[in-house]
Amino acid sequence: MGNYYFKLAWLSFKKTPLLSLLMVGTIAIGIAAAMITITVGYMMGKNPLPHKSERVAMVHLNSWDPAEPISYRRNGEADIPNMLTYQDAMALLTADKADKHVPFVSFSTLVRTETQDVKSAEMHNIRSTSRHFFSVFGAPFIYGATWSEEADELGQSVIVLSKRENDRLFNGANSVGESIILDSKLYRIVGVIDDWQPTPKFYVNSFHMYTPTLPYFVPLESQIRNDFFSPATMGWYCWGDDATSTLKDVMSSECVWIRFWVEFESEAKKYEYFQFMADYTEEQRKVGRFLRPEPNRLMSVTEFLEEEGAITEESKLGIVFALAFLLACLCNVMSLMMTKFYGKGGEVGLRRAVGATKKDIAVQFGCESILVGLLGGVIGLALAQLGLSALTDMYPEYHANVMTMNFTLMVSTVALAVGTSLLFGLWPIYRATRIQLSSQLKSL
C-alpha cells in the first residue's frame, strides 16, 4: 500500500510542479541553512579525545603580576595565565608527578634538506615539545616513532615531520635516519606522522583551534640548546621589567610562554596533581612569587574547550538564527501544503465517497509530505555541501574539517527534512481529512 501512496504522491507532485518545487525548494533552503550551522557547531564542539578527555589536563599556574590580573574572563572574574614561565615548566617536569608531561611552544625558522641550497629553504613553524606530544594528543606515526627520553633531556637535534612535509621533501619515502637543516642546525629525522588534524585542535588557545597542525616537531630542550627564538610570531605575555630580547632573557623572566599539558593513568591522580600544584605554589610564595589570589587551574580537555569557547559565539548564534529561519521556511511550506491539499478537496471527496477512511486520506497526504520532505532533504543536503565548501573558502582560518559533514550528520539532514515536513504537514493533513464530503463532489 505504501507503494501506491508514494506513486500517488509523485503524481500529485508532478501535477502542480511550481507549487511542489516551491515547497521542496523552501524546505531545502531552510534545511541547508540549519545543517550548515549545525555541522559547524557540531564539529567545533566535538570531543577530540573521547576516550581520555578527563585524564588529559592543562596546567594553569597563577604566576602573574600582583599589580593587575593578566585579563578578565567573560564573566568578569580576573583570569590567570594559561601558559607557564620557563622556570615553572621546568620545576613541574623535574617533579615528575604526572604520568606524561607535554610542555610546548613554537618557533619559526628556515627549513631545507641537506641537498637543497640556502635559497630554497622555506620558513616554517616548528612545534617544540616533549616526546609524549604524539601519544598524549593522538598523532599517529607512519614511519619511525617519537624521540627518546634521552633526546628530551639532552636536547638532541632530532625531528618528527608531518606526512605533507615528508612528501614535499622526500617524495613520501621513509625518511627516518635522514637529516634536515633548521636554519643552520642539522636535525636527524626519527619519525613521520600521518595527516593529523584534531578538530578542534584543543591543545592551543581558541584563536588557533581550527588552524592546521604544525608540520615539524623537535624536543623543547633542543630549541633552547640551538637558541631558536621567534618573538614576533610566538604567543607570550610578559609583565615586570625583565629583559626579553633573547631566548635566555625570556627563560629567566616572568614571561609566560609555555603551554603545559599532562596525562594521568587515572582520574584520581589528577586530584593528587592539583594538590601538588597547590603545594608548589605555596613554596614559591615563600620566595615572593605567586602573590595573586586567584587559584591555579588543572583543566581537563572538555573543561578547557568550554572555557576557551571552542564553539564560537558566532557559530552558536548562527545555529539559533538558522533554526529560526528553518521555522519560517516551514511555516511557508505549511501554508503551501494547505493550498495544495485544499486544491485536492475534490479528490478527497471522491476518495471518501468510494470508501476511503479519514485515516486512508491522512496516510496518502502523509506520504506526500514525506516525499516533499525527502526531496527537500536530499536537495538540502546538496545545498549544504555546497554551502560548506563555500564556507571553507570564505573562512581560511578554519580547517576544512570543521566544514565537513560526517555520515551521521548527512542522515540527520534528510531525517530532519522529512520529520519537520511531516510535522508541519500534520495540520494541513488534518484539515484535508475534515472536508465536507457532500460539498466536494460536484466538481473535481
Partner 1 sequence: MKDFNPILKTLWKSKTGPLLLIVQIAVAFTILINVSFMASSKLHELTESSGLDEEVLFSFRSNLPVESEEYVALLRQDLADIKNLNSVESVTVTNSVPLSGWGVFYSLNASDDPDSYIAQAGAYVGSRDYISTLGLDIIMGRWFEESEMEFTTEGNSDRSNSILVTKAMAEQIAPDDWSTAVGKAVYMNGRAYQIVGIIDRLIATWPEWRGNERSVVFPTYIMAGENIFMVRAKSGQLEQAMVDVKALLMQQPGKFVTDLHTFKYTRETGYKAMESSFIILAGVTVALIMLTMLGVFGQARFTLMKRRRQIGTRRALGASKFHIMRFYILESLIVVGAGVLLGSLCAMIANVKLIELFRQDAVPYEYFLYGGVGVCIASLIAVIPTAYNAANTSPAIATRSV
Partner 2 sequence: MLKMRGVAKSFVTDTVKTQALQPFDLDIEQGEFVAVVGPSGSGKTTFLNIAGLLEEYSEGQYFLDDKDTTGLSDKHKSALRNQKIGFIFQSFNLIPELNLFDNVEMPLRYRDFSAKERTERVLNALEKVGLAGRKSHYPQQLSGGQQQRVAIARALAGSPSFLLADEPTGNLDSKMADGIMSLLRDINQQGTSILMVTHDMDQAKQAGRIVEIRDGHLSEQKIAMTA
Binding mask 179-218 for partner 1 (x = CB under 8 A): ----xx----------------------------------
Residue 60, strand partner residues? 297
Produce one character per residue of 267-292: b if its CB has 16 or more CB atoms within 10 Å, e if not: eebbeebbebbeebbeebeeeebbeb
**Near partner 1 by CB under 8 A: residue from 332, 356, 360, 401:** 332
- 360's contact among partner 2, partner 1, none, with CB below 5 to 8 A by partner kind, is partner 2
384 contacts 35 by C-beta, under 8 angstroms: yes
Q: Applying CB under 8 A, does 293 fall inside the site for partner 1?
A: no
* Cβ 111 vs Cβ 121: under 8 Å: yes
Smallest gap from residue 28 Cβ to partner 1 (A): 12
Near partner 2 by CB under 8 A, which window of 136-144, 237-245, 257-265, 347-355? 347-355
What does 207-220 look like in DSSP terms, one character per residue? GGTTSPPPSEEEEH
Is 444 a binding residue for partner 1 by CB under 8 A? The answer is no
Query: How many alpha carbons fall within 13 Å on the CB side of residue 179?
Result: 12
Q: Assign residue 9 a region: left if phi > 0, alpha if psi is -120 to 50, beta otherwise? A: alpha
d(CA 191, CA 173): 12
Q: Least Å distance between CB 341 and partner 2?
A: 15
Q: Does 347 bind partner 2 (CB under 8 A)?
A: yes
Considering the complex, state which of residue 207 and residue 271 has its C-beta at the smaller distance from partner 1: 207
- 352 Cβ contact list (under 8 Å, min separation 6): 358, 361, 437
Of 191 and 376, CB closest to partner 1: 376
117-136 mask for partner 1 (x: CB under 8 A)?
Answer: ------x-------------
Question: Of the candidates 379, 366, 377, which has an alpha carbon nearest to the alpha carbon of residue 422?
Answer: 366
Site for partner 1 (CB under 8 A): which residue of 47, 71, 389, 436?
71
Q: Is 246 in the site for partner 1 (CB under 8 A)?
A: yes
The contact set with partner 2 (CB under 8 A) reads: 1, 4, 11-12, 14-15, 346-347, 350-360, 437-438, 441-444
